[in-house]
Each structure stands twice: as structure tokens, then as C-alpha cells.
Structure 1
């Protein structure tokens, strides 16, 4: 993996056969063509949002309306892709409460999320494990391996230890082979799932060369490919995360915008790999309490420039073919707020910017025929 500034490009797997061979039109799977996404033979822009909480909330049938509301509001604002967790390892309300043992109610929650996304025409990027301790992450896998007598000194042993890696490989197989109780479709065969993300923001600080993570990605990509009946040929697009307010927090808006412009240029696919790259997580921290005030106009200025920059790159020969903001919530979800949340139904200036840019970002098919 290639380190650029303060973020790590995250390798992601996508449902497809082979980018340069004939594929059946109309099957609904997102594919790649050089540095572009394609859907049923036409260019596709991954314009969307993060909502890590979808499975967690949907595990409670009485709360599932929040998932439906989120998808409905997203669709009405022109959003087409949602990125969410397909993991919750150990701890409170886990999906996987011990290695290979799963909570059926949580799985049914994820079943519902996929079913509702399908209903509203939303494609999903499902992340399979966390780099951080939230919802278990690599630390939980390392602890499980320790419980089996493994002497491990670092959470980074997740990337090296055979036992920990074996637990993760089993999680891949379990999730991909899951039979959806709502749709009657195995996850690996559902075109609603645009992509599988091996890990949320992977980092291995004990090996700054990137060699350990690259070896892990190669191994796990191969495992995922076999679990998907070879539908997926391997890594075929990358993502970059962008939080200018955290990375240059002491500077003014203009400095943050300048950083953002340089960052998006540096992380452009031409500089990395010959495949699409989507910015799957970006946000600007709110500096006043949402319950008392609307979003500050200054925040909307920076938020505006992020999707505007995407729109500009979309029209270049080598486009940036997607962008997802962090994070989408609905009314009554204040306890999930982290300072980055956007509630579209509140009609804020930020929500209006999102809707405007969503319509501007519709790609021109002629642009995708270049090269």
C-alpha cells in the first residue's frame, strides 16, 4: 500500500468478471473499465455516504424504519452508494461473538440492510473488519488468538499470526456465503453489494514500509476471490479518506481547501494504480452544537468544495469516479452523532449542497469512451 500524506489508500474488492472481456449486460453488478466504474455497460458514479450503524440498528426490528428512512432520504438527494460495516466482533451486540460463532439477530439486521438498499436502488460497500477497537477490530482477533495460547505482543500481529488470519478468513467465507433471509440471495451473488472492503483504514505501525499490509492484502484478496466463486479477480479499486479539518486543524478554511486540492490530486488514480479510486470517507467537523444551531455557513463552504472537486475530476480524462461523505444519520439519532453527521431531512445548507452536486456529478458517457 502507498502512504500519501496522513491517510492510507485502502484496497477494495469489487464484484466483476474481468474488466476487459465481454460481460453480460443488465446483471446489475458494478464493474471497472480502466479507471471508471460501469453499470450494465454505462458509466457509473459512486456518489454516496457512510452509515456504519446500519446493521447495528437494523438488528432491532422496531428500529429498522431508520434504515429505510436513511435510504429514502439519500435517494431523494441523488445519493447512490452506502458504505457500512459487515462486522462487529466481540463486545456489546456482536455479529461474531467468538471465532466462527455468529449472532443470528445481527445477521438478520444486515440481511434487512441489503434488502432495503436493493429496494431503494442503493449499492453497498461492505467493510469486513476494523483497524480500530470500535466494534472489535483487529484487536479482538488478536485477543481471540491469545486465548488459544498464541504469544502476541501487538495488535499488528493480526496481519501476521496464522491463527488470527485464519479467524478472519473464516469471517470472509461466512459473510460471503450468507443466505439473505429477506431476498433469498447469497451475499456473494447479490449485485446490491458493489464491493467488499478488506479493512477499514488499515495501518501497521510496526512495519512502516507497508510490506506487512501488502502481504496480508494479497493473501486475503485471494481468499475472498475463492469464496466468491472467482467472480472477483482481485483488487480493482482503491479508496482514500480525507479529513482536512483534523489534519490541518490549526489553519483557516483557505489553507484546508488548499490542502484538500493537493490531497485529491496526489491520491488520484494516475498516481497510484491503473484502476478507479473513490474517496469513501470525508467530512468537516462541526464547531457548534447541532441541537441548537444549523450548520455554520463556513462548514458548507468547505463541504461544497469537496464534492465540487469531485465533479471537476469526474470531467477529466482520468476521473475520480466517486465520493462518499461521513456520515449520514436520520432524525432522532443524536446518540450516533460524532460531529460529522448530516441529517438530510433538516434541509441544511450542507444537505442542499449534496443534492446539487449529486445532480452535477452524473457522468457523460462520451467522457468514459476516451483512452
Structure 2
């Protein structure tokens, strides 16, 4: 009898504490931070150790194929509590609700309004806590993040901001943004930034970023180009140096470059795969850059509407098919690494026979990925660019969409998630996430 009374008292205490925490969280929201790690799901780190072609969940040992998306704006929108931050939670929830498991987003904002890094090595804690929120919220929804560490483009500062910082400090550096890749002072700025990110302890979960399994991978740079160096040796050396540096700090996470996938001028046998002669003069080389020792998987982008704008739909499909096949083949037979199409974007054109051109192009990539995963080959997944939620005016571009406002595209995304999961049933992707799992009833045994 006494044991029963003690158990009842213990249950009441636990229930009372849970109620108090819930009330505090609901009333004070982001201002009240108890360790949310207590409520977050267990997740395994991802590796390629046991397979040169597919990603492996270290917790279960099962291979993974990826269906995911890009929402670059997550940290930016998480700075402010209320509706802005709620949009981030909504996007992660919606992504999980479509069966997707990986989201790629920016872990940088250099200089300018609401910057994470306001000057070299100086950080705005308020913005850092916004990134903390994104990571903690992603884990809550069982979404893994690819975090990009700097931009090649000028948006959110980019490599040009690093060059301006060096010039302002009196460093004798040329004004070309490509000095980012060669100047020792600027490389030191980048390394300091990376070290701060990797050693950060999340203010919500109290977990170091380097210990956080909800981080799928680090990305060195979004779409690196070094156009002032036709030999591409400068960019190649930079990738090798920074990849080794990151791995010296963090051996648990995967690392990729962030390439668009263009072949260099010395890869003459693949010159015809590039979308035009302009693509081999950008200083990057898919095979050479991706082959670097510490790069765990190859990244590729695909934008047929931008790259061959005057082609009709049939020509774009033909081009895109060859683009995907070539890179998957390179991953399989040359690099012996997984290949992830980290940006797949298409404008929302007019309709043809009831289907948007976007759907036709996206399905082309999805089908190629699915066939590759069925054969356990290097094509390991694709991430659509980019998904939004309502109320994000000013963040959209010509490739953005609110997926649930476009039923045919939404259905295509969900079907890809479910058929990939079917191939790996029994692993993490074969488990139901919740009662609202979109694959319920579609996968045998569920």
C-alpha cells in the first residue's frame, strides 16, 4: 500500500512539473528556455563509412536516400519571436508532413542588417540564438539540416564582405571577391567563423553543434566560383585546406563543397554535359573538387530554366536527364561517393496537358534518383529549391513555391518521399513519424 501511495505521489509530482513547464513555455515562449533536448527525438549521425554510394544512419546501420528541400531563410526569420518564428516551425512541420527528411539552409549572414557575424569574429548573440532555434526545432520534427557556411554571391554578405573587411583593416588585398580564396588574412577570418559555429553550444538544447545529430552536413560555400582563376588551382587549394580544417574540429558530421556541378575545361570528355561554354570558365570542376579527401559527398545543382533559357520543355528534359546521369555515373565509378542534388529549381511556367513544366522537370530528377537508389547506386537524393510558407513576401524568387498551394507538385514531392522510404523500409525512413505520416497506407506493412 505504501509503495502504491509513493508511486501516486511521484506521478502527481511529475505531472505537476510538466504542467508548470508547459504553462511557462506557452506564456513566455522563446524567452523561457528549459532544456528542450528532454523532448527531442533520438537521432543517429549520418555517415558514408560503410558505403561509398549511399548515406548510412549510424544508429540503425540502414542506408538512407534523401528527399528534401531548401529554405534559406530559416535563421533570418527566427530572429523575431511571434509570427516570424512561427513560420519557421510551420515550414519544418510541413516539410516533415510531406515525408521529407533534410532541409538545406544558411548558417551565415555576414555584415548588414541583422547579421550573424557583424565583423570578423564578432557575433550578434540574438541572431546566434535564432540559429539555435532552427536547429532545435528541426530536431523536434526529425528534420536534418545541411548548413551552408558562406555565400559565393553577395546576398547576406558573401565572400565580397570578407574582402571588404580585410580592406577596411588595411590588408593589402585586391578588390576582386576571389581574393577570398587566396588571401591568408581572409582565410583566417573564415576559419575563425567556422570554429565559432562548430564549437557553439545551442542555447536551447545545450548541445554543441559538433555533437548535434540533427545537422546532416556542413557545406563549405554556396555555389563557389573563382572566375579570376582560369586554372581553378586557387579554388581547389581552398577547398582542400578548409575541408581539412573542418574535419580537424568535427569528425562526426559529413562535409560537402556546395558545387553547382559544372565540369572544368580539363574535363574535355564531359564538356558537352555543361549547359554552355560559359560553365567551364567559372573556376570550379565537379570531379576534381569533389574528389578531395575530406569531402564526403558530392553536391550538384540543376537549373535548366536559367542555364538554357531559350530551350523548349523537351530540350530541357533531355538536358536535365543527361546532367543527372552524368553526375550519378561520376559518383558511382570515379568519385565513389554519394551524389546529392542539393538544389533543383524550375520556374512555375504555364501548364501543358494539365501538368506544370516545373512538375515535368522535377519528376525527371526524382525518377532518376529513385532508379539509382533501387540499384544502390550513387544518386542519393534531391532537394527542391525552394519551399516557402505564407507571409514571406520579399524572400521569394522565381523558383519559390508554397507547395500546398500547388497540388500536383505537392503530390509529386510526397510520392517521392514515400517510394524512397519503401526502398529502405525497416530503417529510419521506414518508420512512421506520426499518425499524420503522409506515407501511411502507401507502404506495405503500415
TM normalised by structure 2 equals: 0.72
Are 2:198 and 2:250, in contact at CA under 8 Å, matched by a contact in 1? yes
1:338 aligns with 2:356: no
SS of alignment partner, residue 61 of structure 1: coil
Could you say which residue in structure 2 is the equivalent of 1:14?
none
Cα separation, 1, equivalents of 2:253 and 2:373: 27
Are 2:110 and 2:118, in contact at CA under 8 Å, matched by a contact in 1? yes
1:222 aligns with 2:222: no
Could you say which residue in structure 2 is the equivalent of 1:36?
54
Q: Which has the higher contact order (CA 8 A, sep 6+)?
A: 1
Match of 1:147 among 168, 182, 198: 168
Which string of whole-angstrom CA distances, capped at 9 and with x for unpartnered residues, describes residues 239-267 of structure 1?
Answer: 00000111111011110000000001111
Higher helix share: 2
Q: 1:313 to 1:229 in 2, by over 3 A?
A: closer
- Bigger mean CA offset, 228-237 vs 351-360: 228-237
Matches within 5 A, 1:279-298: 279-287=341-349, 297-298=356-357
Residue 228 of structure 1: how far off its partner (Å)? 1.9
Cα separation, 2, equivalents of 1:272 and 1:279: 17
Are 1:48 and 1:323, in contact at CA under 8 Å, matched by a contact in 2? yes
SS of alignment partner, residue 336 of structure 1: coil
Q: 1:209 to 1:257 in 2, by over 3 A?
A: same
Which string of whole-angstrom CA distances, capped at 9 and with x for unpartnered residues, describes residues 189-232 of structure 1?
Answer: 00100100010010111123221111111111111112226776
Cα separation, 2, equivalents of 1:191 and 1:230: 9
Residue 347 of structure 1: how far off its partner (Å)? 4.5
Are 2:298 and 2:339, in contact at CA under 8 Å, matched by a contact in 1? yes
Match of 1:303 among 356, 362, 383: 362
Q: 1:226 to 1:149 in 2, by over 3 A?
A: same
Which string of whole-angstrom CA distances, capped at 9 and with x for unpartnered residues, describes residues 133-183 of structure 1?
Answer: 000111011111111212322111100000000000000000001110111
Which runs of 5 or more structure 1 residues have no equivalent in the other structure?
A: 1-25, 289-294
Are 1:343 and 1:351, in contact at CA under 8 Å, matched by a contact in 2? no
Could you say which residue in structure 2 is the equivalent of 1:6?
none
* RMSD (CA atoms): 2.0
Which runs of 5 or more structure 2 residues have no equivalent in the other structure?
A: 1-41, 255-292, 428-446
Matches within 5 A, 1:246-285: 246-268=306-328, 269-270=331-332, 272-285=334-347
The structure number with the bigger radius of gyration is 2
Cα separation, 2, equivalents of 1:337 and 1:272: 37
Are 2:385 and 2:399, in contact at CA under 8 Å, matched by a contact in 1? yes
Are 1:73 and 1:344, in contact at CA under 8 Å, matched by a contact in 2? no
Residue 60 of structure 1: how far off its partner (Å)? 0.8
- Matched residue count: 336
Residue 304 of structure 1: how far off its partner (Å)? 2.1
SS of alignment partner, residue 202 of structure 1: coil
Higher strand share: 1
1:312 aligns with 2:365: no
Cα separation, 2, equivalents of 1:87 and 1:332: 22
Q: 1:228 to 1:319 in 2, by over 3 A?
A: closer
Could you say which residue in structure 2 is the equivalent of 1:54?
74
